[in-house]
Amino acid sequence: MAQVMAQDVRQLSRMTLDPLMWTASLAALLLGVSTLFLIIIYVLYQASGLIGEISLGAFLFSEAWVPLAEPPRLGIMHAWMSTLYVTAISLLVAVPLGVGIALFTAELAPPAARAVLQPCLEVLAGIPSVVYGFFGFVTLVVWFEAWFDMTTGVSILAAGLIVAITVTPFIASTATEALDAVSAGDREAGLSLGVTRFYTIRRIVLPRAMPGIFAGVVLGFARAIGETLAALMLIGNSVAIPGSVLDRGQTLTGLVATELGEAAVGTPKYHALFAASAVLMVLILLINVGILLAKKRLLRHGF
């Protein structure tokens, strides 16, 4: 040790600072990443309190949500049906729009348009959920009241359309990436055969980019089911099972956000809300893990 110190002061810092930074940064990493497991384990643990109160089948498929009844009735069918409706509407709008924006950006846009469009989409992705909800409330909801002769315009359709705007930038940016990854050579080979640009895109570019676009759509799906406030503010928060898209409803996320703060800790209702969160969590994590694992394979196709 004395030798080392005599040689170089820097050497000393290597002896002391490096192990310290190594340990501290590894500890930070393990602590931070462990929150993922903390969420999974905690939500499942609290959800398990519902076991014995109600069967999984009844919880998901048959029981109504009347937590104040005696004994409480704790089914979430109305919620996942609303979530399904909202997600379906949002994807019906967001997939054509997002892929259209991507086709424009990657294939047609002059460089200046591309330079403007990308920050625009980032701004769209940066608007908070609650602001979207407010915007929908003062525009869509008001228009619906006039167009469909509704007493209140809050409905599954209004929620679905606003959620569509929130997922569009996602689908657009992933699809643009996928289209950009198709080599210029393939594209030029098509064009050199004298066919139209549309035909080249349809038969050469799109098939190669399809796995990446598919990944974007699936991730958009996961985001749409996790969307909370924008949907909650526009859907009308009704626990009836929705019959049409102009009915009011309550998404899974909305159910948890509305009731969790008021549920007494440890009651069946409290556990049921964690169980609803668990359903959401398992769905979203499975989708993301699937896409992340398949990403390499999906993207390799493009090259």
Partner 1 sequence: MASNPQWRLHQPRALLAERLFVAGAWIAGSMGFLLPVAIIGYLLVNGIGVLSWEFISAPPRGYPLGLHGGILPAIQGSLAVTMVALGVAFPLAVASAIYLAEYAEHPRFVAIMQFLAECLAAVPALLFGVLGYGLLVVQFGLGISALAGGLTLAMMMYPVILIGSHAALQSVDRSLRESALAMGVSRAYVIRRALLPRAWPGIIAATVLAGSHAVGSAVPVLFTAAVVQTRSAPSLDSPVMTLPTHLFYLVSEAVSFEHAYGTAFVLLVCLLFANTCALVLRRRLRMRGE
Task: List binders of partner 1 among 70-99 (CB under 8 A).
Answer: 96-97, 99
* Footprint (CB under 8 A) of partner 1, residues 113-142: 113, 116-117, 119-124, 126-131, 133-135, 137-139
**Least distance in angstroms from the C-beta of 221 to partner 1:** 12
Contact call for residues 232 and 259 (beta carbons, < 8 A): no
Total count of residues recorded for the chain: 303
Instruction: Output the smallest distance, CB 244 to partner 1, in A.
Output: 24
CB 175 within 8 A of CB 182: no
Among 74, 159, 165, 215, binds partner 1 (CB under 8 A): 165
207 binds partner 1 (CB under 8 A): no
For residue 248, the one-letter residue type is R
Residues in Cβ contact with 271 at an 8 Å cutoff, skipping those fewer than 6 apart: 46, 47, 48, 49, 50, 53
Question: In angstroms, what is the minimal distance from the CB of 300 to partner 1?
Answer: 16
Does the footprint of partner 1 cover residue 155 (CB under 8 A)? Answer: no
Q: Which of residues 269-298 bind partner 1 (CB under 8 A)?
A: 273-274, 277, 280-281, 284-285, 288-289, 292
HSE-up of 130 (CA within 13 Å, CB side)?
A: 1
d(CA 161, CA 250): 15
Within 208-247, which residues bind partner 1 (CB under 8 A)? 219, 222-223, 226-229, 233
- Burial of 86 per CB tally in 10 Å (0-12, 13-18, 19+): buried
Restricted to residues 28-47, the positions that interact with partner 1 (CB under 8 A) are 28-29, 31-33, 35-36, 38-39, 42-43, 46
Question: Could you tell me the CA-to-CA distances from 144 to 151, 191, 237 in Å, in that order?
Answer: 9, 46, 17
Smallest gap from residue 248 Cβ to partner 1 (A): 14
Using CB under 8 A, pick the residue from 103, 159, 217, 275 that binds partner 1: 103
